[in-house]
Copies of this chain bind each other. A is one copy, B any other.
Amino acid sequence: MKIGFIGLGVMGRPMAGHLQAGGHDLLIIQRSSPPPAELVSTGATVLETASVVARNADVIILMLPDTPDVEAVLFGPDGVAAGLSPGKTVIDMSSISPLSTKCFAAKIAALGCDYLDAPVSGGEVGARAASLTIMVGGDETAFAKVTPLLSLMGRSITRIGDAGAGQTAKVANQIIVALTIEAVAEGLLFASKAGADPALVREALLNGFAASRVLEVHGARMIERKFDPGFRVALHQKDLDLALSGARELGLALPNTATAQALFNACQAIGLGDCDHSAMVQALERLADHQVAPG
């Protein structure tokens, strides 16, 4: 199959590589920086614009930073929409606004094409290992058609519902991860300031109802003071922006999401925007004048 792939960053590059390794023809675009050598040397075709990519591909995949980037690539000058003809499929794997997604999907559908939102979780590690969790919104038949492609990039692939539902699930994921990080941060900071060894507390708690991937992975980071990214605070702020503006539009009180965002903002203020999101604990530590450290 001919697959256009737009957005070859830390996530997009390995994902595109898996599609190519799966036997598909890759169409990419020439941007300011030269196209990735590992993709070109194995046969990727480099084209001039997104609309030329769309004209020549059967499926066009986007993996971009934020909502305005997706909008520009789809509907800007020389964008994807200008090159589409009926029967093609656009898959947006970026993490962007669920509400804007519904609007993009309707505009693409009006051109006779399918649109799927398919954001991922699992980060750079998951992208390299082709073990991403992929949450999909859009038409069931369109989903079935591209499931083999998604399977080359991810291990757990779930259609959540119609257009936007994938992005909605991703926002829910980011709410839960941020609030679980704060749960672990408040719990371990309490234990540490009360004089207990947080490493032993973490170990004991992993056997009960407090157990989570976050307690396991981010809890260890807080104790070992390893805040190299990982998933950056600044990216999680973007995702909680989507949660909080969505809550505003939907009429929804998300009190702990609001506080978690406030703590991420504090992380920015103290120079931790490019640290792993587990650095949220450092905002609480400043207020307590105490670090999570062996008791």
Q: Interface of A with B (CB < 8 Å)?
A: 98, 121-122, 133, 135, 137, 155-156, 158-162, 164-165, 168-169, 171-173, 175-180, 182-184, 186-191, 193-197, 200-201, 203-205, 207-215, 217, 243, 246-247, 250-257, 259-260, 262-263, 284, 287-290, 295
Q: Is the CB of B194 within 8 A of A168?
A: yes
Residue in A175, A177, A193, A207 with the greatest tally of chain B CB atoms within 10 Å: A207
Cβ contact of A256, chosen from B137, B155, B179, B289, cutoff 8 A: B179
For A186, the chain B residues whose CB sits under 8 A away are 175-176, 179, 254-257
Give the CA-CA distance A162 to B160 in the complex, in Å: 49
Q: Is the CB of A187 within 8 A of B175?
A: yes
Give the CA-CA distance A137 to B176 in the complex, in Å: 32
Give the CA-CA distance A253 to B214 in the complex, in Å: 21
- Nearest CB in chain B: distance from A175 CB, A: 4
Cβ contact of A161, chosen from B169, B173, B295, cutoff 8 A: B295
Q: Is the CB of A158 within 8 A of B200?
A: yes
Give the CA-CA distance A207 to B173 in the complex, in Å: 11
Q: Is the CB of B200 within 8 A of A171?
A: no
Residue in A190, A250, A253, A259 with the greatest tally of chain B CB atoms within 10 Å: A190
Q: Pick the 7 closest A-B CB pairs, nearest first.
A: A179-B183, A212-B212, A156-B207, A176-B187, A158-B204, A172-B187, A176-B210
For A287, the chain B residues whose CB sits under 8 A away are 252-253
For A210, the chain B residues whose CB sits under 8 A away are 121, 172-173, 176-177, 180, 213
Cβ contact of A171, chosen from B190, B257, B290, cutoff 8 A: B190
- Nearest CB in chain B: distance from A123 CB, A: 8
Q: Is the CB of B176 within 8 A of A183?
A: yes
Q: List 6 A-B contacts (CB under 8 A).
A: A137-B196, A168-B195, A171-B194, A172-B187, A176-B184, A179-B180
Copies in the complex: 2
Of all chain B residues, the one with the shortest Cβ separation from A193 is: B250
For A121, the chain B residues whose CB sits under 8 A away are 205, 208-210
Cβ contact of A212, chosen from B165, B180, B193, cutoff 8 A: B180
Cβ contact of A196, chosen from B161, B187, B195, B211, cutoff 8 A: B161
Cβ contact of A214, chosen from B98, B160, B209, B260, cutoff 8 A: B209
- Nearest CB in chain B: distance from A204 CB, A: 4
Q: Is the CB of B204 within 8 A of A133?
A: yes
Give the CA-CA distance A208 to B257 in the complex, in Å: 19
For A194, the chain B residues whose CB sits under 8 A away are 98, 164, 168, 171, 246, 250
For A169, the chain B residues whose CB sits under 8 A away are 191, 196, 200-201, 204-205
Residue in A193, A204, A250, A260 with the greatest tally of chain B CB atoms within 10 Å: A204
Q: Is the CB of A208 within 8 A of B173?
A: yes
Additional 18 contacts, C-beta under 8 A, given A121-B205, A186-B256, A190-B254: A121-B208, A133-B205, A133-B208, A156-B207, A161-B200, A165-B197, A165-B295, A168-B195, A168-B201, A169-B196, A171-B191, A173-B187, A173-B210, A176-B215, A180-B180, A186-B255, A208-B213, A253-B287
